[in-house]
A and B are shown apart, each in its own frame.
Chain A
Amino acid sequence: MENAGYLLAAFAIAWALVFGYVLLLFSRQRRLRREIDSLKEALKEKH
């Protein structure tokens, strides 16, 4: 059981990074969508 620390560290870092990246992407996507929707609304009001 000696090097378990390293094993855990590797998986923990990998998961943290992947998870963080996924969260980042998905939240940015949501923000983009919201901006697009509001722009579309604004355009509709103009015309």
Chain B
Amino acid sequence: MKKNILLGLSFVLMVIALYLVFVYVPTEKEMGIVQRIFYLMVPLGWLSLLAFLIVFIGSILYLAKRESKWDILASSSAEIGIVFTTLALITGSIWAKPIWGVWWTWEPRLTATLVLWLVYLAYLIVRSYATDEERGARFAAVVGIVGFIDIPIVALATTLWRGMHPGPIIFQGGLAPAMLLTLLVSIAAFTFLYSVLLIQKVSMKNDEMEMKRLKELHS
């Protein structure tokens, strides 16, 4: 019951954010109405990173303490994180088409997001290709740690790389207060949604473990 309330709250927040994005905020001068995708992209990008931060923390705690709850936290965040990262890439691509005329551009932030997506994928693949669950958890934790530390280096390298060929950049310049408010509310809405999903995933994994235990007792 409580979870459904949280979900409902999250929905409300989203609707508020949508209102701000479509009705309240003024249209940006240079890019026109498409610029509003920005209020979708930035929260998604932020979430991809936040989710991986949780993967990182969960991984470290799991390796340190070997309590399965940390592994459950890490893997849940990874599964949710890859969904948001995929969305970030999709919206980034949809942004790219009207603005630069191409479906994809090797712009630093987009490229770094793609690499992040690949790291998420590596995390999940290692889990499923391990020979048993304990190893899967351990190996994934290693990937989570190494991967997270890699991200700032990737961001630095891609920024420097593209800096040499100045091309399309996501946005520049300051933000009018109305825009800032809309952005912050969108970020808050998405972060709240992420938390709700994370709680849901974690409880699902706990349920799966309990079910396994019950099945063993049964037979």
Verify whether A and B have any Cβ pair under 8 Å.
Answer: yes
Cβ-defined contact, A6 with B32, below 8 A: no
| Interchain CB contact (< 8 A) of B211 among A6, A39, A46 | A39
| Interchain CB contact (< 8 A) of A32 among B36, B91, B211, B217 | B211
Cβ-defined contact, B32 with A2, below 8 A: yes
CB-CB nearest in chain A for B36: A7
The yes or no answer to B203 lying at the interface (CB within 8 A) is yes
Cβ-defined contact, A32 with B7, below 8 A: no
What is the bound-complex CA distance between A22 and B84, given in angstroms? 12
Q: Which residues of chain B have C-beta atoms less than 8 A from A18's C-beta?
A: 87, 193
Cβ-defined contact, A25 with B95, below 8 A: no
Cβ-defined contact, B197 with A6, below 8 A: no
Q: Tally the A-B contacts, defined by beta carbons under 8 Å.
A: 81
Give the size of the chain B interface in residues (CB under 8 angstroms).
33
Cβ-defined contact, B197 with A22, below 8 A: yes
Q: Which residues of chain B have C-beta atoms less than 8 A from A28's C-beta?
A: 204
Cβ-defined contact, B91 with A14, below 8 A: yes
Cβ-defined contact, B33 with A10, below 8 A: no
What is the bound-complex CA distance between A32 and B94, given in angstroms? 36
The yes or no answer to B66 lying at the interface (CB within 8 A) is no
Q: Which residues of chain B have C-beta atoms less than 8 A from A42's C-beta?
A: 218
Interface residues of B in 178-207 (CB under 8 A from A): 193, 197, 200-201, 203-204, 207
The yes or no answer to B37 lying at the interface (CB within 8 A) is yes
Decide yes or no: A14 and B33 within 8 Å by CB, A22-B197, A25-B204, A29-B207 being known contacts. no
Cβ-defined contact, A6 with B94, below 8 A: yes
